[in-house]
A and B are shown apart, each in its own frame.
Chain A
Amino acid sequence: MTEQQEPKKAPKPKVPRQKMPEQSAVERAHNFYEVALGYSNDLALMEASRCLHCKKPYCMKGCPVEVDIPDFIEMVKQGDFISAAWKVKEKNSLPRIAGRVCPQESQCESTCVLNKKGKGEPCAIGRLERFVADWAAQHAPNQMPELPKPTGLKVAVVGSGPAGLTLAGGLIKKGIAVTVLEALHELGGVLVYGIPEFRLPKAIVRAEIDELRRMGVEFKTNWVVGRVETVDDLIDRYDGVFIGTGAGAPLFLRIPGENLNGVYSANEYLTRSNLMRAYMFPEADTPIAKGRRVVVFGGGNVAMDSARTALRLGAEEVTIVYRRTMAELPARAEEVHHAEEEGIKFKLLTAPLEILGNETGWIVGIRCQQMELGEPDDSGRRRPVPVEGKIFDIECDTAIVAIGNAANPLVPSTTKDLETNKWGNIVADLETGKTSRDRIWAGGDIVTGAATVILAMGAGRKAANSMMQTFGVS
């Protein structure tokens, strides 16, 4: 890859990278409205003008679903926002979602030539994607691509998260009938139960799903595969089955006091607030502990989402407790930045030892161990080691455990001869999604372990391609 030539004369961009307008930190810390407000037409035109339209677009190599980035940005330059949106949608069925939650800084934008020039000012591809997709939804909400004649083939999709939805979008455009089965009462998987309203408004998820429905995708909710029927039942009735059930089994710290009242998994906390709309309680019936002092364990995006949700629910103080330093935080830089702006505190090099409770079974604090960075571990990161004798307590009334998820065993354990690895993830070819079973594909977090929305979308896209190849549909 290194011998590939960059464009000979890259003209220096005169226009700086355009910032996206957002709600002020003070204002947004107390509401659930979306933080980032999106580009105006003018900002989008300005930003698009920065794209060099490289002959060998490195940006596309950074995109898990291979969106034709230079082409869609060219259409933005010409002011043809609708065509730009459809150019994106050729490869990405959920652009309004991807434009909001993709970690572009480590994907398309990291490989953008403008970034490679050492300026760290890549073209804002993600913001432009969001802009064109929002524009199309607003100005041509009912526009549809031309659909081919039905092939007579039909596929069942287990789970309506980003992997399954992407696969559904890919197949329906090729005349393959798709039925998506969802265990919860609302469609979207992690997009509706996990990612908060202020990062991804649920109305947008619903609109993207409605578009798939208009194209003919069938959806069934309250349908728990593994209980209502098994994958083996499905494979008798469908030509293929895709398993995209996500990594939905929360990990806990395995320390004393973890089952005290007021201690949540991030999954539960976010599900209550997002899916069940506990932030509207009592207008919605589902309650949530509205903590005054909230502690969040973990340093990923889910930890940031939990902390920022707690703040919006009215917490006076929210502290992220993480065993390493800021440099090792796995969360997106933008999320960490937003959290800091809003006043989230970071207690670094701190590991929890015990959760302290009172006689009624409620959390009153946490006992912590001070850490320091030692030798690098297998992941290459310096391993945090305890500083002997340095133990301290933090007072709190709510704690959220956001240290990751394991594979939910329900589907793998009820499917005959479906190979899983030692962590319970389904073994599937990462390029095709093919599993150990004929006509059964899998992708997303159930295969890779907890990752990102766009990687799940990428897996859905690859599995769709593999299915079409298997079925002889081009």
Chain B
Amino acid sequence: MFEILEKERIGPGVNRAVISAPEIARAHRPGQFVILRCYDQGERIPLTIADKDPEKGTITLVWQEVGVTTFHFGTMEVGESLQDVCGPLGKPTHIENFGTVVGVGGGIGVAPLHPITKGMMAAGNHVISIIGARTEGLLIMTEDMRKVSHELLISTDDGSFGIHGFVTQVLKDLIDKGTKVDLVVAIGPVPMMKAVANLTRGYNLPTVVSVNPIMVDGTGMCGACRVEVGGKTMFGCVDGPEFDGHQVDFDLLTKRLAMYKGPELIALNRFRETERGCKCSIPGGGA
């Protein structure tokens, strides 16, 4: 169960793996995620499903190495199996023919955006995707995204590839040019999603974001993933992971994501002293 069938490094500290998980591949809808554990003393972490193949019974996961579990997963090779993969979890994306949908993906957020734009395209929308990263080497899944977008705009913060600037600037230019946009779906680092939401609020443009709070069970049982949306406490795992970007308290989300910074470092350092852990790359390879 949950054997790693393919694995490749697609950026600094960023990996893509194809996992055998027939039931999840069959049941998955865009926007949903899994919770996985690498080994029997491992923690449970949520990862959004980047792609699936129900015929082959596989799901594709894309992750960045930041903590002990993502580093551990990064050291696992084809032929090894994850201890547990639980899902699909969370509410699927609300997909219908809205008209024109702009998907905005920042950094690793391009991975969860991929099945959503794919679904939006299949529903008859005109899909414009804007993907960006700090620098060219951190851009992921550009060719995958091209296949599921009618138009693809790429930007880098340092101008090393595509448009020089943030994805928000690209989005602003698109709107100011007079493009009629019916829905924005923004997934990426919290500051990026916050910036997009702040921008589109001014245009009164419906904006969906996908949040990534700390989770334990992922089924609504523990409440670790509390987010405030419009002043109300919601659970990221069962009420989300997608919410109205104009209502999410991003500052709270940022603080809650930092809750275990100290212990996370202890666990990571300890892992790096193990036989498996010394294989892994330098921590903090990307943001």
Contacts and interface: CB of A to CB of B under 8 A. Distances in A.
Nearest to A359: B255
Contacts of A259: 226, 228, 233, 252, 256
Query: Which residue, B32, B89, B259, B270, has most C-beta atoms of chain A within 10 A?
Result: B259
Contact of B41 (A224, A250, A272, A284): A284
B42 A222 contact: no
20 contacts: A185-B37, A185-B84, A224-B87, A227-B27, A248-B221, A258-B233, A259-B226, A259-B228, A259-B256, A268-B224, A276-B216, A281-B267, A282-B266, A282-B270, A283-B41, A285-B42, A286-B216, A287-B260, A289-B259, A361-B252
A387 interface: no
Contacts of B84: 185, 221-222
B44 A276 contact: yes
A250 B233 contact: no
Contacts of B270: 282
Contacts of B112: none
Most buried by B among A193, A222, A285, A409: A285
A410 B220 contact: yes
A228 interface: yes
Interface string B223-250: 1101010000100001000000000000
Contact of B220 (A249, A276, A281, A361): A249
A33 interface: no
B106 to A, nearest CB: 23
A75 B260 CA distance: 54
B121 interface: no
Nearest to B271: A285
A100 B86 CA distance: 31
A232 B257 CA distance: 37
A268 B252 CA distance: 19
A83 interface: no
B217 interface: yes
Interface string B53-69: 00000000000000011
A58 to B, nearest CB: 38
B64 to A, nearest CB: 17
Rank and list the top 9 A-B pairs by shortest CB-CB distance, nearest first: A361-B255, A287-B263, A268-B222, A248-B221, A222-B86, A185-B84, A286-B43, A285-B43, A265-B223
B85 interface: yes
B43 A271 contact: no
Contacts of B37: 185
B74 interface: no
Interface string B255-287: 110111001101100110000000000000000
A86 to B, nearest CB: 33
A57 to B, nearest CB: 39
Contacts of B226: 259
Given A221-B84, A227-B88, A277-B41, A250 B267 contact: no
B42 A250 contact: no
A408 interface: yes
Interface string A223-237: 110011100000000
Contacts of A280: 41
Given A259-B252, A271-B217, A277-B41, A228 B222 contact: no
A287 B216 contact: no
Interface of A: 183-185, 193, 221-224, 227-229, 248-250, 252, 258-259, 261-262, 264-265, 267-268, 271-272, 276-277, 280-287, 289, 360-361, 408-410
B24 interface: yes
Given A249-B220, A284-B41, A408-B221, A183 B267 contact: no
Contacts of A183: 86, 217, 219
B97 interface: no
Interface residues of B, number: 43
A282 B266 CA distance: 7
Given A259-B226, A276-B44, A228 B220 contact: no
B221 A271 contact: yes
Interface in B8-45: 23-24, 27, 32, 37, 41-44
Contacts of A261: 255-256, 258-259
A106 B175 CA distance: 68
A282 B267 contact: yes
Contact of B24 (A221, A228, A248, A361): A228
A397 to B, nearest CB: 12
Contacts of B89: 224, 227
B83 interface: yes
Contact of A271 (B24, B87, B222, B228): B222
Given A224-B89, A228-B23, A267-B222, 12 more contacts: A222-B85, A222-B86, A223-B23, A229-B23, A264-B224, A268-B223, A271-B216, A276-B216, A277-B41, A281-B267, A287-B43, A287-B263
A252 B233 contact: yes
Contacts of A361: 252, 255-256, 258
A265 B222 contact: yes
Contacts of A185: 37, 44, 83-84, 86
Contacts of A252: 223, 233
A224 B88 CA distance: 8
A410 B43 contact: no
A280 to B, nearest CB: 8
B221 A282 contact: no
Contact of B221 (A221, A227, A267): A267
A410 B219 contact: yes
Given A183-B86, A222-B86, A287-B267, A250 B255 contact: no
B83 to A, nearest CB: 7
B87 A227 contact: yes
Contacts of A283: 41
B230 to A, nearest CB: 14
Contacts of B68: 285
A363 to B, nearest CB: 11
A248 B219 contact: yes
B260 A272 contact: no
Contacts of B264: 287
B119 to A, nearest CB: 17
Contacts of A408: 219-221
Q: Which of A261, A283, A286, A409 gathers the greatest number of chain B CB atoms within 10 Å? A: A286
Nearest to A254: B233
B44 to A, nearest CB: 7
B267 A224 contact: no
Nearest to B225: A268
Contacts of B258: 261, 360-361
A410 B89 CA distance: 11
A272 B217 CA distance: 10
